[in-house]
Amino acid sequence: HLDRIAEVDGLVHAFLHVDAEGALATARAVDADLAEGREPASALAGVPLALKDVLTTKDMPTTCGSRTLENWVPPYDATVTRRLRRAGVVILGKTNMDEFAMGSSTENSAFGPTRNPWDPERIPGGSGGGSSASLAAFEAPLAIGTDTGGSIRQPGAVTGTVGVKPTYGGVSRYGLVAFSSSLDQAGPCARTVLDAALLHEVIAGHDPLDSTSIDAPVPPVVAAAREGASGDLSGVRVGYVREFAGEHYQRGVLGSFERALGQLREQGAEVVEVSCPNFAYALPAYYLIAPSECSSNLARFDAMRYGLRVADDGEHSAEEVMSASREAGFGPEVKRRIMLGTYALSSGYYDAYYGSAQKVRTLISRDFAAAFERVDVLVSPTTPTTAFRIGERVDDPLAMYYADLCTIPANLAGNAAMSVPSGLSDDDGLPVGLQIMAPALADERLYRVGAAYE
């Protein structure tokens, strides 16, 4: 995999940092264990992985795709990182991303975009485009992403790979640099559903270091993926959400989705239409809640404790240093979100914006709850379009935000969702994803249906 990275990453640019030495040391330790007859630490011991650069690593930089954290090496490992190491997983390096995970194309990275291995003129999705592109380019068989509004599933869909957003609280956020704390969730990315399940079980589970971590057994996702591999879905009730269609969707994407429903029926699933009327308000609610939390979380980058510091020449006040450093360290999208969020949280507007968005969030949870009384899982296209061209949406934030039309409801409600490859679009021959959504703590349903479908 290191050779493959050396060969193709100049073009793909999935990685911001490659740790060849560390990776080889871990791999040799696993080899030594096997040679001496010791049990490997896990089923994934010795398997290489690409880690999104938003999870802290004490021996590698963690930049979050931002100038603010360029060259910053954290003093501690994220819980996800620690669990990967404990399982003997070989961490190849850190992957490119939109700055602080804000974006849908990886073009907001301060270090240049990642390219989609299917067509280097196109985006690999975002914010975790580096992680998904590394899988599609065969630079790594496993990767970790984080998903606040779709950043695991949307890149998975447009690169033809698998991506899972576990139930909120299923995977610890300790050491995951916060964007929107009530939505952020780390999860597995892979080329098959079973690989994702194996990785899911390595990283999931209660963590006292994260107060929102759920103290419950990890859903049996590996067993579910193995069960699903038979392809038989008899007895499984699948709902497709009526509201996920319309003007924003490409014909080729909807065509692929129709074929997916047909296949699920052939496999024995009972497929019915359900309505989730409040999903129409998910995108606007998200773009109040996520920037609000972002404006608060990113206040920590004050140039005083760590990160970029400019104008520190003895001539400027602490406030001027802080202001100049934030001006220089943050890119345009991050600044846009901080301004939006600060405005939405300001005393005169709090109830009108943040308060209303929170109410919409509750309505969306109720839509899900009502739907899950009738069906076991919900399905939809993962994204309204296939991978768009690099540069096509950079000047149009709203067009960029529409990439997450189908993925955001699951984040707002905190339930589990997966994107699984669903063939190629008739429009342009590019990969399309099928999104599967399950209730909170029922992540195993995604794996059962996903493994049967793929």
Interaction between residue 433 and ligand GLN (CB under 6 A)? no
Residue that is written with structure tokens 């009108």 in the block:
352
Q: What x-and-dash track marks residues 116-155 binding ligand GLN by CB under 6 A?
A: -----------x-------------------xxxxx----
Q: How far is the CB of 233 from ligand GLN (least distance, A)?
A: 29
Q: Residue 102 or residue 276: which is nearer to ligand GLN going by CB?
A: 102
Q: Residue 2 or residue 399: which is nearer to ligand GLN going by CB?
A: 399
Q: What x-and-dash track marks residues 177-196 binding ligand GLN by CB under 6 A?
A: --x-----------------
151 is annotated as an active-site residue:
yes
Instruction: Let me know: does 414 contact 153? Beta carbons within 8 Å.
Output: no
52 is annotated as an active-site residue:
yes
Q: Taking Cα atoms as reference points, which of 387, 400, 384, 380 lies closest to residue 430?
A: 387
From 102, 218, 285, 410, residue interacting with ligand GLN (rule: CB under 6 A): 102
Which residue among the candidates 105, 132, 134, 151 is catalytic per the annotation?
151
Q: Which two tokens stand for residue 43?
A: 């089923």
Q: What is the CA radius of gyration of the chain?
A: 21
From 45, 290, 371, 449, residue interacting with ligand GLN (rule: CB under 6 A): 290
Interaction between residue 103 and ligand GLN (CB under 6 A)? yes
Beta bridge partners of 95: 15, 52
Instruction: Let me know: does 240 contact 260? Beta carbons within 8 Å.
Output: no
Which residue among the candidates 127, 132, 213, 292 is catalytic per the annotation?
127
Q: How far is the CB of 369 from ligand GLN (least distance, A)?
A: 23
Instruction: Let me know: does 12 contact 102? Beta carbons within 8 Å.
Output: no
Interaction between residue 409 and ligand GLN (CB under 6 A)? no
| 21-29, 98-106, 302-310, 341-349 -> range binding ligand GLN (CB under 6 A) | 98-106
Instruction: Let me know: does 259 contact 423? Beta carbons within 8 Å.
Output: yes
**How many C-alpha atoms does 305 have within 13 Å on its Cβ side?**
6
Instruction: Let me know: does 297 contact 310? Beta carbons within 8 Å.
Output: no
Q: How far is the CB of 104 from ligand GLN (least distance, A)?
A: 4
End-to-end CA distance of the chain: 25
Q: Residue 400 or residue 441: which is nearer to ligand GLN going by CB?
A: 400
Helix (H, G, I), strand (E, B) or coil at 336: helix
User: How far apart (Å, rounded) are the C-alpha atoms in residues 242 and 238?
Assistant: 13
Active site residues: 52, 127, 151
Site residues, ligand GLN (CB under 6 A): 101-104, 127, 147-151, 179, 290, 404
